[in-house]
Structure 1
Amino acid sequence: MYRVDGDPHPTGEPASLRRRLGHWLRVDAAHLLWPSRCLACDAPGLDGLDLCAACVAALPWNRRACPRCALPLPAPDVCGGCLREEVVLARRGRVPVLDGVHASFVYAAPLDRLLPRFKFHGDLPAGALLSQLLAETAATRPRPDALVPLPLHRARLRRRGYDQALELARPLARALDLPLCGDLLQRVRATAPQSELSAGARRRNVQGAFAVRTDRPVPAHVVLVDDVMTTGATLRAAATALKRAGVQRVEAWVCARVP
């Protein structure tokens, strides 16, 4: 494991890079026998991390963002879109269903290479790396009662062979010593891929797509785990199902936010 401090201006120089990330705490025998390779460019990796120094320096950290939707901003503040949503909901006597979003990165290089390989092409080592990076940025956040991966519908799970959100959430739960509720939330309706739809169509596409198991106690505070957030329609639909089942606070932790 390594530590990331709060320096928002990485220089990319090896010395400052080590100061920013901290010293590696240990090098296991496997890395001594098989040195790590950078999963983004195939250069020699750093000890304990499957990225090279140059790719680590290029990581697009999302350090200043809207706390409601993780939209990258010049300074941390609630974005205009979320402010407008709050006004509209307040007129209806409602509040946002998703209580906050944390995204480790902006969706840009080298994440825009690693995430599609992990999500669509079975690159599970890339997923393990992304979970490791997500754990570093989420470690100082308020601890939820449980992590809940955003589930795939069983038909898509059969085609893909793995659930990318669950692959992110398992090592994340271990790293942060948090309970994992892998089957609390279920996707009960098959939907079209969100990437093919407009923002309005995305919202309609996932309405009623999720349900919470009634034979399990629901935690008071859960964090949804997923790979990428674009409009947030899927996360909001999942949060709606959780809130209706009795969850009091629902947040989301994602690897990357599309600006």
Structure 2
Amino acid sequence: MNDRLNIIQTLFGQHCLLCGIPSNGDLCASCHDSLPHLPFHHCRVCALPVTGSGICGSCLANPPAFDCTIAALSYAFPVDALVHSLKYQANLPMALVLANLLLARINKDSLPDFIVPMPLHTVRLRERGFNQALEIGRRVAKQCGIPLLPDICQRIKDTASQAELPWKEREKNIRGAFTCEVDLCGKRIAMLDDVMTTGATLNELAKVLRKHGAKHVSGWVAARTLSRALPHQS
């Protein structure tokens, strides 16, 4: 059986995207098992490590506009390489890989009404040619059977890249960046993005969704930076 599998993999050229050995999936079992996962104990709101279980002190003292965060993995090697390959090298097949990793973390028994991918400003969209959050979202929405709504929110402010700013400046940088023209009264919304660093971008979008009636807002991200951030600064 193993010989037959190896022959099939050789003929069709299916190899692990990380180490390159023949694989029956995007990642071989060894690479998949070595991926950096979130700590077992992490805040269910912001996904940062906590002692014990429940909600971290930061989220209790200064609750964000979103209710919870689901992150596939920690933003560390080699996940950062997968994200960079998608985002900056237009390696679109990586969106499928990241989507599948996120899908493994999503509870299919408690799904939102809609998925909203993180909007890109038109300037950034023209430069990159695609929205990485939308590309990941297509697969997640299809597998979950949830409508994907890429156009209900717009990024109206061409902000500096959050990654290039000190954490203390990220909340101010993203303030007022989004708009929404749709009535979401009583709806449960999942915001989908590639990486969550400190939470400011997700928090700003969540505020807009709340203003338009969303009753529950969650963040779905492929990767979460686990450095202890200042309260909801990015």
Q: Could you list the runs of 5+ residues in structure 2 that have no partner in the other structure?
A: 227-234
What does residue 258 of structure 1 align with?
Answer: 225
- The answer to whether the aligner puts 1:50 opposite 2:26 as a matched pair is yes
SS at match of 2:223: strand
The count of aligned residue pairs is: 219
Indicate the percent of aligned positions where both proteins have the same amino acid. 39
TM-score computed with the length of structure 1 as normaliser = 0.79
Match of 2:167 among 199, 203, 213: 199
Q: Is the 8 A contact 2:184 2:214 kept in 1?
A: no
Matches of 2:129 and 2:100 in 1, distance apart?
Answer: 22
Alpha-carbon shift at residue 44 of structure 1 (Å): 1.8
Contact 2:9 2:22 in 1 (8 A): no
Q: Return the offset for 1:135.
A: 1.0
Q: Is the 8 A contact 1:145 1:219 kept in 2?
A: no
Distance 1:105 1:179 in 2: 24
Deviation at 1:64, TM superposition (A): 3.2
After TM superposition, the runs of 4+ consecutive aligned structure 1 residues lying more than 4 A away are 30-33, 216-219
| Residue correspondence of structure 1 range 118-129 to structure 2 within 5 A | 118-129=86-97
Please report the RMSD computed on the Cα atoms of aligned residues, expressed in angstroms. Answer: 2.0
- Tell me the equivalent position of 1:36: 14
Alignment partner of 1:79 out of 56, 67, 75:
56
User: Paired residue for 1:3?
Assistant: none
In 2 relative to 1, CA 75–108 (structure 1 residues): closer, same or farther, beyond 3 Å?
farther
Distance 1:236 1:61 in 2: 23
Question: 5+ residue gaps in structure 1?
Answer: 1-26, 87-95
1:165 alignment partner AA: A
1:66 partner SS: coil
1:229 to 196, 201, 206: 196
Could you say what secondary structure the match of 2:104 adopts? helix
* Structure-2 residue corresponding to 1:189: 157
CA shift in 2, pair 1:35/1:139, >3 Å:
farther
1:66-91 superposed Cα distances (whole Å, 9 cap, x missing partner): 111011345432123222314xxxxx
CA contact (8 A) 2:121 2:155 kept: yes
Letter aligned with residue 80 of structure 2: D
Q: 1:111-133 deviations in whole A, cap 9, x for unaligned?
A: 02111111111011111111011
Partner SS state of residue 231, structure 1: coil
Distance in 2 between the 1:217 and 1:125 partners?
A: 32
Amino acid across the alignment from 2:46: C
TM-score (structure 2 length as normaliser)? 0.87
Q: Does 1:173 align with 2:141?
A: yes
Counterpart AA for 2:37: W
Within 5 Å, which residues of 2 pair with 1:151-162? 151-162=119-130
C-alpha distance in structure 2 between counterparts of 1:157 and 1:60, whole Å:
30
